[in-house]
Amino acid sequence: MQLNVAGKRCHVGTGGKPFDPAGSLYPPLVLVHGAANDRDCWRQVAGGLTAAGCALLVPDLPGHGLSAGPALRSIEELADWLPALIEAAGVEQAVLVGHSMGSLITLECAARHPQRVAQLALLGSSAPMPVADALLNRAETHPDSVVRLMTEYSHSLQFLLTGGGGHGIWGPGATLAIMRRSPAGVLAIDLANCNNYLHGLEAAAQVACPTLLLVGRRDRMTPRRNLPPLQSALRQVVRAEIENCGHAMMNEQPQAVIEELLKLVGSAATKATATATARTAARPAATAKAAR
């Protein structure tokens, strides 16, 4: 679907079903892609979540995919853009799910706009998320070579060597195709955004909502050894690891990602149901007291 967000056209996937948060047992989820990606990196995960009854917003970030540009030039700008998306979709709060660069965006958004964020899931994350100078420079001059390198390092060696763990060559090829169709200049902007975002741990300390840290045990881009500082900074955090999985976890192990996200939103749904039940139970007592 198309939304007007901050005066610009935003293309938003919904996982193959109309966006209907009122008809879902779960709070709505916003799935935020990483550098030089678009909504299609979530395709397998989104389908599984909507099949489970979730209402999804899967946006192309500004300047990515089918959304109008320009691409925004800082994590902070992107974090302030997300609440405008949520408002444009007609909801008050959402569960933010971010992968890689998207995890930095959602982390900063949860710190800056807590009233908009019910829960947070950080996939393939690290704070800070430095990018080598050579890679930053080459992203401007020879972007396709960087895209090919990132595709290789985004997947576990097992996934690459087996052609996609049963999915055929389309496995790593999907990541490559999505990144190659990214508009000119976007890769360099996104990598610079990751590199320049230096206060992720300070943002994490301000996040009050329940948070999931999800990491692939064979992630070579944001390896799990980098997680302890971020994990320690978060107040309410659960860490989960996916076996035999690299950085591109939505591509390598979509079912495992779906299961972990359903655990997260399921806890929110249970809490909301309990709260509603308690309120309903309290009403007759209050009415009886008033009658006396």
Domain assignment present for residue 157? The answer is no
Domain assignment present for residue 84? The answer is yes
- Tens digits of residue pLDDT in 81-136: 999 999 999 999 999 999 999 999 999 999 999 999 999 999 999 999 999 999 99
Please tell me the distance from the alpha carbon of residue 59 to that of residue 73, in angstroms, as a whole number: 17
Task: Please tell me the pTM assigned to this model.
Answer: 0.91
User: Residue 24: what residue type?
Assistant: S
Confidence of residue 280 (pLDDT cuts 50, 70, 90): very low
Range of the domain at 258: 2-129+197-291
Domain assignment present for residue 179? The answer is no
| C-alpha distance from residue 57 to each of 19, 39, 107, 160, 286 (Å) | 7, 9, 17, 30, 39
Q: How many CA atoms lie within 13 A of 171 on its CB side?
A: 24
Contact 68, 134 (CB under 8 A): no
Contact 50, 19 (CB under 8 A): no
Token digits of residue 238? 């659960």
Please tell me the distance from the alpha carbon of residue 63 to that of residue 189, in angstroms, as a whole number: 10
pLDDT on residue 106? 99
Residue 210 has pLDDT above 70, yes or no: yes
Domain assignment present for residue 148? The answer is no
Strands 211-216, 29-32: pairing is unpaired
Residue 277 has pLDDT above 90, yes or no: no
Q: Decide: residue 255, CB within 10 A, 0-12 exposed, 13-18 middle, 19+ buried.
A: exposed
Domain assignment present for residue 250? The answer is yes
Per-residue pLDDT, averaged over 151-164, amounts to 90
Per-residue pLDDT, averaged over 225-234, amounts to 97
Residue 286 has pLDDT above 70, yes or no: no
Q: What is the CATH number of the domain that holds 82?
A: 3.40.50.1820
Residue 232 has pLDDT above 50, yes or no: yes
* Domains held by the chain: number: 1
Contact 123, 95 (CB under 8 A): no
Domain assignment present for residue 17? The answer is yes
Contact 238, 122 (CB under 8 A): no
Domain assignment present for residue 287? The answer is yes
For 173, other C-beta atoms within 10 Å of its C-beta total 15
- Tens digits of residue pLDDT in 43-66: 999 999 999 999 999 999 999 999
pLDDT on residue 225? 95
In the chain, which ranges are E strands?
A: 2-5, 8-13, 29-32, 56-59, 94-99, 117-123, 211-216, 237-242
Domain assignment present for residue 26? The answer is yes
